[in-house]
Structure 1
């Protein structure tokens, strides 16, 4: 099994002072290296994370969760030798106690990416969107938006490439890009909590939702143009018989 000391946990954080310290402490108790990326918070997120023992990057402007994740992944990759990289939220939604379970499943599945999946969460609208996007993409993933993920080095090579930098969210676009590069993505069911603080950056307003849908449909369209989407749908059809 992968030694926890060789696992890097990357946590993007924006104004999450009430929870980030507890999350960092719980992760550190597992023996993992913790890298928090403070996305230019206006509160004491930076100080709370440092006090809890994390190595903290502080961005000079609010870049968004996906760019913060990329910055953390790149820093962890250069900082030390790690066997795998885990991304998770700092708002209390993701439970650090599931990390060992995800690592075991990651190794058992022999996947390049493993998603900590919790399809029970979310509104009816979000669940409908998941079903629609799962159907359109043929990804075979139920929880397409979970940011609780495990990546290997091959996945990082893709996510830190120029194509990865074009993405806006760590969800469907990332999974489509990984599939297009021939990498394997799996999911494993876990439990999640309601957010202790903050709110979804994607589903905060109807404008945010609209932008998210438009960008997601663009990535799905691009995937179809390249042929990856068509092949997956064709394979899905064959498997049904």
Structure 2
């Protein structure tokens, strides 16, 4: 009889930036902890009870006293996770339920086996299927950002603003995000090129719920991403 042995993810840390996600954060973290026991959630000055929900879910909690932005939260989480004994692999994972644990499992397996330092999720890595959830305006914006960034194109990346990333200890130790807000995504692309991190992409499924759409898919957010793409043109 075949016996399935679950992978050991004790050397892996999920880093979850969180700002006013009390509605869903406990469920997101509890589900992720069924596979990944080590999670640090950075409560980025939330005005709701996100911190309490994070604590109840059993994740490590780090608080920013004021809202600094997603880039700052990721850097704080990376610094916390890389200081933990045995930490070798790291994941940036959204708090709103868009990212899928199954994708992380697959990406970590690749990171362990292949000669790469960082794997970035992409919504555009396979033929567009019926039922594809990426909103058309989001698809246009994200593809435009890639067109505006020579570095992104040079690295062969198709979705630089995908928040699902996995990377090894070398990347974690060298990561130093200085751009606190959304522009951290372009800064990370620049870091990949400057530090010569070996990079690959992995097709992933993004779950666009009514909740996540209301939180992060507004027209303003699209404008911010396009502005970020213009900034990327000035980065190496």
Q: Which bin holds the TM-score, normalised by the shorter protein?
A: 0.7 to 0.9
Partner of residue 172 from structure 1, selected from 186, 201, 220: 186
Instruction: Tell me the number of residue pairs that the alignment of Structure 1 and Structure 2 aligns.
Output: 217
Distance of 2:21 and 2:223 partners within structure 1: 23
Taking structure 1 as reference, are residues 215 and 2 closer, same or farther at Cα in structure 2, changes over 3 Å only? Answer: farther
Cα pair distance change 1:166/1:206, threshold 3 Å: closer
Change (3 A) 1:203 1:167: farther
Residues 3-23 of structure 1: CA deviation (Å, up to 9, x unaligned): 301100000011111111111
Q: Structure 1 residue aligned with 2:163, among 141, 147, 150?
A: 147
Asked whether 1:82 is paired with 2:87, we answer yes
- Cα RMSD between the aligned structures? 2.5
Deviation at 1:202, TM superposition (A): 9.4
Matched, 1:126 2:139: no
When structure 1 is superposed on structure 2, of 75-84 and 32-41 the one drifting more is: 75-84
1:158 to 174, 194, 197: 174
- Structure 2 length normalisation: TM-score? 0.82
Confirm or deny that 1:38 pairs with 2:48: no
Q: CA deviation at 1:211?
A: 4.1
Unaligned runs of 5+ in 1: 224-241
Match of 1:238?
none
Contact 2:21–2:96 (Cα < 8 Å) also in 1: yes
Structure 2, unaligned stretches of length 5 or more? 1-5, 129-133
Contact map agreement 1:134 1:141 (CA 8 A) in 2: no
2:68 pairs with 1:63? yes
Q: TM-score, normalised by structure 1?
A: 0.80
Higher RCO (Cα < 8 Å, 6 or more apart): 2
CA contact (8 A) 2:179 2:187 kept: no
Greater percentage in helix: 1
